[in-house]
Amino acid sequence: MNDIQQIDDYLLQYAGKTDRALFEARLILQPALQENLVWQQKTYDIIREHSRRRLKAEIESVHQHLFTEPAHISFRHKVLGIFLKK
């Protein structure tokens, strides 16, 4: 668990300069730690991408709700009016 925390601190840039230097030295000396770092970074990348897709879907849902339902026609006209004015 200590390695996981240190990898987190390193990847998320929570570690100070001294701790980062020590961790980087450990990465050179311990190939398994380097491999764990790579996998943890890939995990963060997957989580970040999933979050982006979910947020994009939520935004699209709100957009569809506000711009297609008759109850929001006044709002739609106000927004479109902002962008259509010259």
Chain segment 19-67, per-residue pLDDT in tens = 999 999 999 999 999 999 999 999 999 999 999 999 999 999 998 888 8
- What would the two tokens of residue 45 be? 């990348």
Inter-CA distances, 15 with 18, 45, 83, Å: 8, 20, 46
- What would the two tokens of residue 81 be? 């009016």
Query: Which of 12, 39, 48 is CA-nearest to residue 23?
Result: 12
Length of the chain: 86
Put residue 85 in one of left, alpha, beta given phi > 0 → left and psi -120 to 50 → alpha: beta
Under 8 Å between Cβ of 33 and 3: yes
Task: Supply the pTM of this predicted model.
Answer: 0.67
